[in-house]
Amino acid sequence: MANKQTKGQSKPGPITAEEMLRLENTPASRAMPDEIREQLYSRRMVISSSHAEFDPRKHFSRVEGEEGAWQLDTDYPVVSGIPVREMKRVEPDSLKVAPRKTVRVDAFRPEWQPHIYHPKMARFADERTMLRRKSGALVRPHIVFNNDDRAIFLPEGYPWHCVGRVFVKTPESGAAWKVTGTGTLVGARTVLTSGHLIPWGRGDAMIKFVPGYFNGNSVVGAGVESWGTHVHGYNAGQRQAWDLAVIRLEDALGDWLGTFGAKTYDDDWEDDPRWTLVGYPGEINVTATWWPPGLTSTKVNGEFPTRQFGISVEDDDSDGNALEIEHHGDSTDGNSGGPLFGDWPKGPYVIGVESGGQTAEFLGVTLEQNNVAAGGNGMVDLVRWARENWP
């Protein structure tokens, strides 16, 4: 049964499909500052070592006979990227602000970023611990309902380039990324994603976030990415409503590109098809005809973002200060961590983080199927905590 977490008069819902169609894309109102442009468009490669005496300047040398080629020769352990320095899980409800003054943190669009309401679209013809609903039902992998209504899009402009692909690896995975999913910029250095993507307890994991990822690179610039240095989430076992984590980035991408806001879902908005789901699925069930030329496979391996608009929330179940938000948006592996959001006049607000599918059965008969996003005040509190501690 739905359980409203916000009291008082009905809260205004997000922009409707008809209202969205009437909106024009808003151009940037000023030029991007030179220092930010330099940060975004310069290529760089990060290497790190656990050895305090490692100094790469002493170990680089030219490759003989190869113009412009350099090599690194060292006995010190060296990796490409930055290992996560801290992973911390806190108990559910431990981040509550009392007394609560708001149930949202606001969106932000820099003046040099255009607001794109209508992105360019196209129609496209590793095992993890199973989560559980509060009721005890096992959480299935994500579900596609009837026809797959997701469409690949080009994530140019605000807010689309604020959603990106999350890459996770540990030493045993070698050069390969062990897990990939989706994340959303919700603060200057904060990415909101699913807790089940994080290798909790590993002091040697590496996490990379690429905003506006599209077929191998960011649409913002080929070198635009950032490494996760800290991770914060909930120690809630397999409870799906708390399947939430925030990642601190080395770089303040949110200041340069903008951020989503976060808002507590209100069940006055139930059965209202105003929500959008974005993610990087490994497979979709329709065929593309436009990009890249000739691509017809439904296996897109997370290389392209998909967007589905007009999703309604079927129900929401409270688990303490968090919510299981049930919906029929289409989702497959790789959508995990993606934002379920609505557009308000002040910008886009995430109401839930895609977690997985759930099926209720009785005597072999399927009674109910839903995809579930983790949300509620537990999500907003986590985002607020990150913004205050990771400016």
End-to-end CA distance of the chain: 38
Amino acid at 194: S
CA distance 247 to 327: 25
Query: Which of 24, 6, 5, 23 lies closest to 15 in space, CA to CA?
Result: 23
Chain segment 318-356, per-residue pLDDT in tens: 999 999 999 999 888 899 999 999 999 999 999 999 998
Contacts 24+ apart (CB under 8 A), 95-103: 95/378, 95/381, 95/382, 95/384, 95/385, 96/321, 96/377, 96/381, 97/381, 97/384, 100/377, 103/5, 103/6, 103/263, 103/264, 103/377, 103/380
Decide if pLDDT at 198 tops 90.
yes
Question: d(Cα 308, Cα 60) in Å, to the nearest integer?
Answer: 48
The confidence band for 99, taking pLDDT boundaries of 50, 70 and 90, is: low
CB 93 within 8 A of CB 378: yes
Torsion on CA atoms 208, 212, 213, 218, rounded to nearest 10: -90
Give the C-alpha separation, 279 to 337, whole Å: 8
Q: Is the pLDDT of residue 8 over 50?
A: no
Measured over the CA atoms of residue 281, residue 283, residue 289 and residue 294, the dihedral's sign is: positive
- pLDDT tens-digit series, residues 214-256: 999 999 998 899 999 999 999 998 899 999 999 999 999 999 9
Helix spans in the chain (H): 17-22, 34-41, 253-257, 377-389
Question: Tokens in use for 166?
Answer: 């999350």
Q: What are the backbone dihedrals phi and psi of residue 84, each rounded to the nearest 5 degrees, phi first? A: -65, 130
Domain 82-389, CATH class in plain words: mainly beta
| 119-158 confidence digits (pLDDT tens) | 998 654 433 454 555 666 655 455 555 556 678 999 999 9
Domain ranges of the chain: 82-389
Separation between Cα atoms, residue 330 and residue 166, nearest integer Å? 20
Q: What is the pLDDT of residues 170-185, one digit of tens each?
A: 887 776 788 899 999 9
Distance CA 216, CA 234 (A): 31
Question: Cα–Cα distances in Å, from 107 out to 8, 100, 188, 235, 311?
Answer: 23, 19, 11, 27, 21
Cα–Cα distance list, 121 to 76, 151, 282 (Å): 47, 6, 18
Residues in the chain: 391
Residue 296 pLDDT grade (very low, low, confident, very high; cuts 50, 70, 90):
very low
CA distance 24 to 185: 24
Token duo for residue 309:
């608009």
pLDDT digits (tens, 9 = 90+) for 20-76: 989 999 999 999 999 999 989 888 888 899 888 899 888 899 999 999 999 999 999
